[in-house]
Amino acid sequence: MKHALKTGALLGLIAVAGLGTGCSKQSAKQATFHGETTKASVVIAARHLKPDDVIRALQTFVPPGEHDPYLMFASGGQNGQVLVYGIPSMRLLDEIPVFTPDSMAGWGFGGSGNEVLRGGDIPASKLGPAKELNWGDLHHCNLSESNGVYDGQWLFANDKANGRIAVVDLRDFATKQIVKNPIFYNDHGAVFVTPNTTWLIEASQYSAPLGGAYQDITNYEATYRGEITFWRFDRQTGRIDTNQSFAIELPPYWQDLAISGKLVSHDWIFCNSFNVARYHGDDLDGQPSFEAGATSRDTDYLHIIHLSQAVKDFQAGKFERVNGFPVIPLKTEIADHILYFTPETKSPHGVDVSPDGHYIVVSGKLDPHVTVYNFDKIQKAIAAGKFEHDPYGVPVMPMEDTVEARVEVGLGPLHTQFDNKGFAYTTLFLDSAIAKWSLGGSAETLHPGVKSWTLIQKLPVQYNPGHLAVIGGDTTHPTGQYLLSLNKWSIDRFDNVGPLYPENLQLVDISGKEMRLLSDTPLGMGETHYAQIIAADKVHPWQAYPEVGWNPLTQSVDTNAAMPGQEGIIRNANHVTVNMTIVRSHYTPELVQVNQGDDVTWHITNIERTPNATHGLAISAYNINLTINPGQAETVHFVADRAGVFSFYCTKFCSALHLEMAGYLIVKPATTQTAQR
């Protein structure tokens, strides 16, 4: 690969650059460019670069006009969107709007974006009025997989704040569906896919009565619950089929991350929990806080779920309905051998499955070890049936029967990813470091002298990493090479921009024996919780929509789309239909005259076939802002309730006569009185 320069070649380049060992602080300080910017040694000296800086720069620099070999899809956290970076340059290539309106993409100001966003609202019910949701706390975005590897077709994301999940189509990098969980208000272990993307996993977080109704908190043990929803994804329609989806009821522990097994363990789901103590306050009443009460037990429970067994029960109708949604009750899960527990060290966060599917790695945040469970041992323990039972009757297997190894990695271990050489990488939140450690079997075989289940190296990162991402690092075929440490704090790393600091994404080279830090990338627009990295050539987005009149929601030509030659304004009583086409640099028609109170349906089609020839439609005062890509057809609907003269114009600087790409929406007042105002 073009960018995968070998260290030897790099050292050669350094020698050419005349760096040698003579880069003393003194000379660096005095040096200026003197116009000699084509001489590497002069630039290196003037910029005070150390030898390792130069290597790092050479490893991450992508020359102008060239492309990055990898794409990272990263959650945008509180901004509710997905961010797309080029790796190794760390150039931000795109922001895919998901849960939050976005002006650049014209998302949420009329048109198809509104339709998708409103699909995720909370409907009115006997509990209260409808709630419109206009932001999300996006934690995990997950690429679709075929046979356990990313296939580059779809991307899924969750909203922790409101218990929603979204489907993004990677043909046009646009969100197609947002589904509100009908039985829970929040989630966290989401969205994680099964190896063929048949099911999308969404685990709830903070226990509450299923269905969202009121229950007195003193009835916590009896009436509060957790759950995991299994959403059926239909590749044909590109949508979650809510009618083929179901949930399983769980005890009121606070379920955390959930993940699918793979290969040997492919039919099983693993989910962490904390607050198995079922602590529920109340601090104003003199009780301990949640942080003390929820961590009062030494262990919490790793949930082990037999998915196909749950699917069987769902298909056999062995469920109850909550808000109309099928939920398999706990007692059925126990009777039908769907759910098992095994203890995990308290307050765990990450749960990750090794590439071969054999090992499940769990990190208890308050334990300096990662705990590695062996899938075969879990199966044997299930068969042996030596169970204790939790207060709800769920079988609990002894930890000593399910654990393969415990590796001491450092303080505050969170999340783990894997490479293709038998190593695992775990973020250490409290140590502000990444631990590299060896898996059993594979590392020992591949690297003579390396012992199984051993800490190999700790690399300091800056600071407090959450998740980490290795190329393909959660699939059956990781690539290795690069690792991203997604850090929560940045403290002193960047120029001061006031009290709200950026996050820090750090790129790490893991291709050699030792991990090496390559670059820092501040992110001042959200908290990246999770990311996945895929080879860029595995994603095949369109450069423009395939045909003119393309509806991005149906991914086909829309029979209602405005087409060239058929432009015009049609009135039917007080219903007005505008059929408008756009091409550089005009709207047809340019004058839209309606009466106050008219119900306006405005179809607009970008008839361009040139890639990148995107236009906008911004209508003053009406809060309408569309982005219309080549071929795309959009429809916006509004009531012309405010009289006056409103301009509309193209928001994308599309041509020399872009400023002339404008028109008027003229709304004739219903009464003369209004006209005078």
Contact partner at residue 661 from ligand K7E, ligand CUA, none, CB < 5 to 8 Å by partner kind: ligand CUA
Contact 116, 97 (CB under 8 A): no
Write each residue from 181 to 200 as x if it is in contact with ligand K7E (CB under 6 A), else as -, in one continuous string. Answer: -------x------------
**530 interface partner picked from ligand K7E, ligand CUA, none, CB below 5 to 8 A per type:** ligand K7E
Residue 112 or 427 having the CB closest to ligand K7E = 427
Tell me if 658 contacts ligand CUA by CB under 6 A. yes
CB of 604 to ligand CUA, least distance (A): 12
CB 560 within 8 A of CB 603: yes
Q: Closer to ligand CUA at the Cβ: 428 or 661?
A: 661
On the question of a cis peptide bond just before residue 463, with omega within 30 degrees of 0, the verdict is yes
CB of 63 to ligand K7E, least distance (A): 33
Alpha helices of 534-625 — where are they, by DSSP H? none
Q: In this structure, which amino acid lies at residue 405?
A: A
Q: Which does 262 bind (CB under 5 to 8 A by kind): ligand K7E, ligand CUA, none?
A: none
Distance, CA of 676 to chain centre: 51
**DSSP assignment, residue 659?**
G
The residue from 311, 636, 654, 665 that contacts ligand CUA (CB under 6 A) is 654
With beta carbons less than 8 A apart as the criterion, state whether 54 and 14 touch: yes
> What sign has the CA pseudo-torsion 192, 198, 203, 208?
positive
The three-state secondary structure class of 496 is coil
Cβ closest to ligand CUA, residue 305 vs residue 607:
607
Inter-axis angle of helices 7-16 and 51-60, to 10 degrees?
120
Closest separation in Å from C-beta 139 to ligand K7E:
4
Q: Which is nearer to ligand CUA, 516 or 658 (CB)?
A: 658
Cβ closer to ligand CUA: 36 or 660?
A: 660
Considering the rule CB under 6 A, would residue 447 count as an interface residue with ligand CUA? no
Q: Which does 631 bind (CB under 5 to 8 A by kind): ligand K7E, ligand CUA, none?
A: none
Closest separation between CB of residue 427 and ligand K7E, Å?
Answer: 8
Counting contacts by CB under 6 A, is residue 349 touching ligand K7E?
Answer: yes
Residue 576 CB, shortest distance to ligand K7E, in Å, is: 47
Task: Report the candidate in 363, 359, 354, 388 with the shortest Cα–Cα distance to residue 376.
Answer: 359
Backbone angles phi, psi at 7, to 5 degrees: -55, -40
Least distance from C-beta 640 to ligand CUA, angstroms?
Answer: 23
Asked if 164 interacts with ligand K7E (CB under 6 A), we say no
Binder of residue 615, out of ligand K7E, ligand CUA, none (CB less than 5 to 8 A by kind): ligand CUA
Q: Which is nearer to ligand CUA, 176 or 615 (CB)?
A: 615
- Contacting residue, 3, 56, 139, 615, with ligand K7E by CB under 6 A: 139
CB 252 within 8 A of CB 225: yes
Count of all residues that appear for the chain in the document = 677
- CB neighbourhood size of 182 (10 A): 22
Report 604-633 residues binding ligand CUA (CB under 6 A): 615
Residue 507 or residue 643: which is nearer to ligand K7E going by CB? Answer: 507
Which strands, in side-by-side order, build the sheet including 591-595? 591-595, 662-668, 644-649, 615-619, 624-628
Structure tokens at 463: 């600071």
CB of 485 to ligand K7E, least distance (A): 11
User: Do 176 and 237 meet the contact criterion of CB atoms below 8 Å apart?
Assistant: no
The binder of ligand K7E chosen from 3, 140, 280, 358 (CB under 6 A): 140
Least distance (Å) between residue 580 CB and ligand CUA: 13
Report the residue from 456, 661, 665, 667 that binds ligand CUA according to the rule CB under 6 A: 661
Amino acid of residue 403: V
Q: Which residue is at the shortest CB distance from ligand K7E?
A: 466
In this structure, the number of other CB atoms found within 10 A of the CB of residue 523 comes to 22
Q: Which is nearer to ligand K7E, 238 or 350 (CB)?
A: 350
Q: Closest approach of Cβ 491 to ligand CUA, in Å?
A: 42
Among 466, 472, 616, 631, binds ligand K7E (CB under 6 A): 466
Smallest gap from Cβ 140 to ligand K7E, in A, equals: 6
d(CA 188, CA 232): 18
Which 8-state DSSP code applies to residue 348? E
If you ran DSSP here, which 8-state letter would residue 606 be given? E
Nearest-angstrom CA–CA distance, 317 and 320: 8
Residue 522: φ, ψ to 5°: -75, 150
Q: Determine if residue 108 is left, alpha or beta; phi over 0 gives left, psi from -120 to 50 gives alpha, anything else beta.
A: left
β-strand pairing of 433-438 with 423-428: antiparallel
Q: Is 660 helix (H, G, I), strand (E, B) or coil?
A: helix
Name the binder of 654 from ligand CUA, ligand K7E, none, CB < 5-8 A by kind: ligand CUA
Shortest CB 75 distance to ligand K7E, Å? 8
Q: Which of ligand CUA, ligand K7E, none does 658 bind, CB closer than 5 to 8 A by kind?
A: ligand CUA
Nearer to ligand CUA, 370 or 617 (CB): 617
Q: Which does 603 bind (CB under 5 to 8 A by kind): ligand K7E, ligand CUA, none?
A: none
By beta-carbon proximity to ligand CUA, the closer residue of 536 and 662 is 662
Do 271 and 261 meet the contact criterion of CB atoms below 8 Å apart? no
CA dist 411 to 107, 202, 433, 527, 669, Å? 42, 28, 9, 22, 68
Q: How far is Cα 488 from Cα 504, in angstroms, rounded to an integer?
A: 7
Cβ 518 to ligand K7E, closest distance in Å? 21
When the beta carbons of 507 and 654 are compared against ligand CUA, the nearer one is 654
Partner whose footprint covers residue 139, from ligand K7E, ligand CUA, none (CB < 5 to 8 Å by kind): ligand K7E
CA angle 566, 572, 576 (to 5 degrees): 65
Residues 528 to 587 in contact with ligand CUA, rule: CB under 6 A? 585
Contact status, residue 120 vs residue 86, Cβ threshold 8 Å: no
Q: Which residue has the tokens 């429970």?
A: 301
Residue 436: contacted member of ligand K7E, ligand CUA, none (CB under 5 to 8 Å, by partner type): none
Residues 6 or more apart whose Cβ sits within 8 Å of residue 8: none
Residue span 515-534 as binding mask against ligand K7E, x where in contact by CB under 6 A, dash where not: --------------xx----
Residue 652 near ligand CUA by CB under 6 A:
yes
- Considering the complex, what minimum distance in angstroms separates the CB of residue 148 from ligand CUA? 44
- Provide the CB-side half-sphere exposure for 628 (13 A, CA): 37
Q: Does residue 395 touch ligand K7E according to CB under 6 A?
A: no
Residue among 328, 303, 361, 347 at smallest CA distance from 245: 328
Closest CA to 119 of 108, 129, 127, 105: 108
Start-end of H helices in 385-476: 399-402, 442-446
467 binds, among ligand CUA, ligand K7E, none (CB under 5 to 8 A by kind): ligand K7E
466 binds, among ligand K7E, ligand CUA, none (CB under 5 to 8 A by kind): ligand K7E
The reply on whether position 163 binds ligand K7E by CB under 6 A is: no
644, 608, 602: which is closest to 624 by C-alpha?
A: 602
The residues of the shown chain that bind ligand K7E, judged by CB under 6 A, are: 139-140, 188, 257, 349, 414-415, 466-467, 529-530
Per CB under 6 A, residues contacting ligand CUA are: 585, 615, 650, 652-654, 658, 661
